[in-house]
C-alpha cells in the first residue's frame, strides 16, 4: 500500500492531497494498473477519451499524423498524464496516438470516477483546472509567433509548435516533399537546411526519417 501512495503522490493531479483524502479515494475509486509491452499501442488518435491515463514508468512515443506518411513523433518521459484536456469539452477524442516504446506501466481511472469522486476533492480539482489552463496558455503563446523567414527557421518553428516538451528526442517520419509543402518552402531549401542541421549534429537524416536527438540543441546558440 505504501508504494501505491507514493506512486499516486508523484502524479501532478494528486500533488498536495493529504494522506487521509488519498485513503478515502483509494477506498472508493477503482484504479486499474495495466502493463503495456514494448511496441504495443496504448491509445489511438481519434479514440474516444473516456478515462484518465497516467503513464507511470517506461518510455512512450506520442505520434501525430498530418497525413499518411507524414508523422511527428515525440518521446514522452514518465510520469505523465495523457491529454487531460480531451476528457471534457466538445471533442472528447485523443489528439494523438501513444505507443509503448519500452515496457510501460499505466494507471487508468474511468471518467465516471473522475466525475463522481475525484473532482469532489478540492486539491484534485485545482490541479486539474490548473493543468488544462496551462495547456490553453501554452498553446496561445505559440499562436503569437510570426511566420518564419528561412527554411531553417520554418523547420524549428514546426518542431516547437508541435512538441509537448521543449527538449528531448523527436522524430519526423515523412517524405521531404510533404515537409516542404507543409512549410510552404522548396524541397531544395528544406534539404539544404536539414543538411546544415546534420553538420551541426542537431539532426540525423535517414531515409524518410529525421531524428532530432535533443531538441534543446536548437536553442543553445
Q: Which residues bind a second copy (CB under 8 A)?
A: 66, 85-91, 95, 115, 119, 122, 125-126, 128-137, 139-140, 142-144, 146-149, 154, 161-162, 181-185
Task: Quote the least distance from Cβ 217 to a second copy, whole Å.
Answer: 22
Task: Please report how close the Cβ of residue 173 comes to a second copy at its closest, in angstroms.
Answer: 17
Length of the chain: 221
Shortest CB 108 distance to a second copy, Å = 19
Which of residues 9 and 161 has its CB atom nearest to a second copy in the complex?
A: 161
Q: Name which of 3 and 146 has its Cβ closer to a second copy.
A: 146
Cβ(45)–Cβ(80) under 8 Å? no
Q: How far is the CB of 130 from a second copy (least distance, A)?
A: 5
CB nearer to a second copy: pick between 74 and 185: 185
Residue 175: phi and psi, rounded to 5, are -85, 145
For residue 16, report the phi and psi dihedrals to the nearest 5 degrees: 95, -5
Identify the DSSP state of 203. Answer: -
d(CA 122, CA 66): 38
Shortest approach of a second copy to residue 89 CB, angstroms?
3
- Residue 67 and residue 106: Cα distance in Å, rounded? 28
**Burial of residue 189, with CB atoms counted within 10 A of its CB: 0-12 exposed, 13-18 middle, 19 or more buried:** middle
160 vs 217, which CB is nearer to a second copy?
160
* Pairwise CA distance, residues 162 & 183, whole Å: 13
CB closer to a second copy, 121 vs 202 = 121
Amino acid at each position: 500500500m505504501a508504494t501505491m501512495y507514493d506512486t499516486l503522490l508523484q502524479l501532478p493531479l494528486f500533488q498536495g492531497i493529504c494522506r487521509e483524502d488519498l485513503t478515502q479515494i483509494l477506498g472508493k475509486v477503482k484504479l486499474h494498473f495495466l502493463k503495456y509491452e514494448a511496441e504495443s499501442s496504448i491509445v489511438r488518435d481519434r479514440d474516444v477519451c473516456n478515462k484518465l491515463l497516467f503513464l507511470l514508468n517506461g518510455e512512450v512515443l506520442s505520434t501525430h499524423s498530418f497525413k499518411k506518411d507524414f508523422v511527428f513523433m515525440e518521446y514522452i518521459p514518465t510520469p505523465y498524464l495523457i491529454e487531460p484536456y480531451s476528457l471534457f469539452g466538445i471533442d472528447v477524442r485523443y489528439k494523438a496516438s501513444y505507443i509503448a516504446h519500452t515496457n510501460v506501466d499505466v494507471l487508468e481511472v474511468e471518467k465516471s470516477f473522475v466525475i463522481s469522486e475525484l473532482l469532489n476533492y478540492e486539491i484534485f480539482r485545482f490541479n486539474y483546472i490548473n493543468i488544462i489552463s496551462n495547456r490553453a496558455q501554452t498553446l496561445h503563446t505559440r499562436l503569437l509567433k510570426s511566420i518564419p523567414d528561412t527554411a531553417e527557421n520554418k523547420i524549428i518553428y514546426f518542431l516547437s509548435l508541435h512538441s509537448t516538451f521543449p527538449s528531448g528526442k523527436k522524430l519526423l517520419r515523412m517524405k521531404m516533399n510533404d515537409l516542404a509543402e507543409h512549410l510552404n518552402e522548396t524541397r531544395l531549401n528544406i534539404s539544404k537546411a536539414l543538411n546544415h542541421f546534420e553538420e551541426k549534429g542537431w539532426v540525423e537524416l535517414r531515409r524518410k526519417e529525421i531524428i532530432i536527438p535533443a531538441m534543446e540543441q536548437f536553442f543553445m546558440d
